[in-house]
Chains A and B, each alone.
Chain A
Amino acid sequence: GESVGLHLPTLSVQEGDNSIINCAYSNSASDYFIWYKQESGKGPQFIIDIRSNMDKRQGQRVTVLLNKTVKHLSLQIAATQPGDSAVYFCAETTSNSGYSTLTFGKGTMLLVSP
C-alpha cells in the first residue's frame, strides 16, 4: 500500500506487481518532464521523459502519463522487481539560454518485496 511519512511518501509492492508513482507539478507553462530513479548512495538516474504535447510515452517496462488539465504526472512500472527499489523523483524543466532548470517533486520511495 501507499503511505505518506513525515518526509517521503512510500509505496510498498510485491515483486511482479505493477507500480504507479504519482506526481503533481506546479507550473502550467512547463513543457518537458523527467522521471529520475535514485538508489541509495547514488546519483539520480534518468528513466524516461515526456513533452507537454504528449500524454503518454512508453519505455522498457515503464510508462509515463501526463495530464496537463490537472497538472499530474505518473510513472507506471510493469512487473516490478526488487532492483526497482529506490526513490523516484519527477522533475519539470524550463529551458533557458544554454542551460535548463529542474524543479523536483518531493520524491516517492518504492519498496519491492520478493
Chain B
Amino acid sequence: DTEVTQTPKHLVMGMTNKKSLKCEQHMGHRAMYWYKQKAKKPPELMFVYSYEKLSINESVPSRFSPECPNSSLLNLHLHALQPEDSALYLCASSQKYGGETQYFGPGTRLLVL
C-alpha cells in the first residue's frame, strides 16, 4: 500500500480566513513533505519533516504554518493568504532507509479569493 490521503479535496477561502490542510499516511514512512504546484509547472518544495521534526523550510512565508502531530499526520495551517497562493497543495512521504522515492497524495486544490 502506497497511499497518502489528503483532505479536503477542494478549498475556497477568503484572505482573512484561517483553514488547515491535512495529510495522512500509514506506510510507516518517517519523512513527510509539503509541495505547492501551479498549473503546468512541477511541484515546488515547501517543507520537509523527518521524524516529526522540521528539517527544511524553503523560505515559505509565515502565513503557511506546518505541523506534524505524529509520524502519520501532517498539517498545513493557512492564515491571511493572498490570491497568488491559489494552487494545488501536495503532500508526500518517504521511508528513511532506501527512501528516495516520495509517494504523493491527490492534493488539495486551493482557491484564495
Interface set of A (CB-CB < 8 Å, partner B): 7-8, 32, 34, 36, 41-46, 49, 87, 89, 93, 95-102, 104-107
Contacts and interface: CB of A to CB of B under 8 A. Distances in A.
A44 to B, nearest CB: 5
Given A98-B30, A102-B45, A43 B101 contact: no
Contacts, number: 70
Interface in B65-100: 90, 94, 96, 99-100
B104 interface: yes
Given A7-B40, A43-B90, A107-B40, A95 B107 contact: no
A44 B43 contact: yes
B40 A34 contact: no
Interface residues of B, number: 29
B101 A49 contact: yes
B96 to A, nearest CB: 5
A106 B40 CA distance: 9
Given A46-B103, A95-B99, 19 more contacts: A8-B40, A34-B100, A34-B101, A41-B109, A42-B107, A43-B4, A43-B107, A45-B104, A89-B42, A97-B50, A98-B30, A98-B96, A99-B50, A100-B94, A100-B101, A102-B43, A104-B43, A107-B41, A107-B42
